[in-house]
Structure formats: C-alpha cells, structure tokens
C-alpha cells in the first residue's frame, strides 16, 4: 500500500506539473484532511449504531448459535483435516466475520492460523490456504460501512445494495473455495 500511495501522490504532482496545473493539485492536497474529517463524521453514526446492534446480538448469544450452525458444514468443507482446536477457532473467526465483528475475528483467526501450521514448514497447509481464501473473499452478511456511507450520501434507497452485495460475496467465496480445491488436486497428481 505504501508503494501505491507514493505512486499516486508523485504521479499526480508530476502529471499536473507537466500540464501546468499545480494550483488545483495543491488545493486538492490540502482538502484531503478536511474531507477525511467530514467522512469520519458521516460514518460515525453508522459505526456506533451497528457496533451497538452487534454487541447486543453477541450478548444474546447469537454468535455462539452461529458457531453451532457452522461447525458441521465447516468440518465437511475442510474435509476433516483440522484438529479440534483449529476447527473451533476457524468457526468462531468466520462467525464473527459474518456479523462484521472484526475486533473479535482477528484474534480467533490468528489462533486458527497458528493451530493449523503447527506441523512446521514454511508453506501454508491446504487447510490454511482455504481458510485464508475464505477470509479474503469476504463473508460479511451486512456491509455496515457501505450502508453508513450510502445513508450519508443521501441515497433514496441505501439498502438496495445489501442483497446484490451478498450474492457477489457468495460468488467470490464459492469460486475461491473451488479454486483452492482444484489447486490441491492438481498438486496431489503432480
């Protein structure tokens, strides 16, 4: 990300310099911080609301119910390769991610990753690859920050994107899982 940032800033300034339009860029550069503050203010309400809702759900035991529901399908998905501790951590991480509680998800994910790589070696196991791909293709059920932004932007129907986003998310996760299984199969043969 560091490289991308430097590239954007430098190429922007250089390109504008070549076209003699540095004034606009200077203005834009100084506006960035103010805009960020405005953006955070418009996000804050949504963040607090969803943070509160999720905590109430957590206190009502919804996450542990989700963990129970996920346990069996996940065991099947990882084709029984996981030990008990790793499976628990994987399940809890994914349940927290589905609800968007990233504070709770990250420590669980780290525990899962550690438990899955105990056999040593420098390369991640098939199970760890699958776990990371599932995590990296997003499993969040409700895109809370997107909703906060859409409300702030004055959308006529902010919630219109929930279902499409869920379908796209499911498609990307599904493809990720299939590709992982294919990669492992190919490796098994070769």
Partner 1 sequence: MIAGLLAITILVGVWKKADIFEAFTEGAKEGLHNAIQILPALAVTLTAIRVFESSGIMEALDPLLSPLASLLRLPQGVMPLVLLRPLSGSASLSLLSEILTRYGPDSRTGLVASAMMGSGETILYTCAVYLSAAGISKSRYIVPVALAGWLTGCAVTGLLFPE
Q: For the chain, how are helix, strand and coil distributed in percent, rounded to 5?
A: 80, 0, 20
Pick 9 or 68: Cβ nearer partner 1 = 9
3 state DSSP class of 141: coil
Task: Using CB under 8 A, pick the residue from 75, 99, 157, 188 that binds partner 1.
Answer: 157
Q: Give min distance, CB of 3 to partner 1, in A.
A: 10
Contact stretch for partner 1 (CB under 8 A) within 21-29, 71-79, 80-88? 21-29
- Taking the C-alpha atoms of residue 157 and residue 20, their distance in angstroms, rounded to an integer, is 42
Contacting partner 1 within 36-95 (CB under 8 A) = 36-37, 39-40, 42-44, 46-62
C-beta closer to partner 1: residue 91 or 140: 140
**70 vs 133 by CB, closer to partner 1:** 133
When computed from its CA atoms, the radius of gyration of the chain, rounded to whole angstroms, is 21
Q: Report the residue from 20, 76, 80, 164 that binds partner 1 according to the rule CB under 8 A.
A: 164
Dist. CA 66–CA 98, nearest whole Å: 9
Which CB, 84 or 156, lies closer to partner 1? 156
Helix (H) and strand (E) counts for the chain? 8, 0
* Alpha carbons 143 and 64: distance in angstroms, whole number: 21
DSSP assignment letter at 25: H
Shorter beta-carbon distance to partner 1: residue 46 or 91: 46
Binding-site member from 83, 110, 127, 185 for partner 1 (CB under 8 A): 110
Contact segment (CB under 8 A) with partner 1 among 67-75, 76-84, 170-178 equals: 170-178
**Segment contacting partner 1 by CB under 8 A, of 17-25, 73-81, 84-92:** 17-25
How far is residue 17's CA from residue 73's CA, in Å, rounded to a whole number? 57
Among 20, 33, 188, 190, binds partner 1 (CB under 8 A): 33
Least distance between partner 1 and beta carbon 70 (Å): 18
Cα dist. 184→18, 44, 136, 181 in Å?
50, 43, 18, 5
């Amino acid at each position: 990300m560091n490289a991308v940032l430097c590239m954007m800033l430098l190429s922007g300034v250089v390109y504008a310099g070549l076209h003699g339009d540095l004034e606009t860029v200077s203005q834009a550069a100084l506006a960035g911080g103010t805009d960020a503050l405005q953006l955070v203010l418009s996000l804050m309400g949504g963040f607090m609301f969803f943070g509160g809702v999720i905590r109430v759900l957590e206190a009502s035991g919804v996450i542990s119910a989700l963990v129970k529901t996920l346990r069996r399908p996940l065991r099947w998905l990882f084709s029984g390769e996981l030990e008990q501790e790793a499976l628990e951590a994987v399940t809890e991480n994914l349940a927290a991610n589905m609800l968007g509680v990233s504070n709770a998800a990250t420590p669980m994910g780290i525990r899962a990753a550690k438990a899955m790589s105990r056999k040593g070696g420098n390369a991640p196991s098939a199970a760890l690859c699958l776990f990371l791909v599932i995590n990296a293709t997003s499993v969040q059920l409700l895109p809370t920050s997107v909703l906060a932004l859409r409300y702030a932007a004055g959308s006529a129907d902010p919630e219109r994107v929930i279902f499409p986003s869920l379908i796209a998310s499911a498609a990307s996760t599904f493809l990720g899982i299939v590709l992982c299984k294919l990669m492992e199969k190919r490796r098994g043969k070769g």
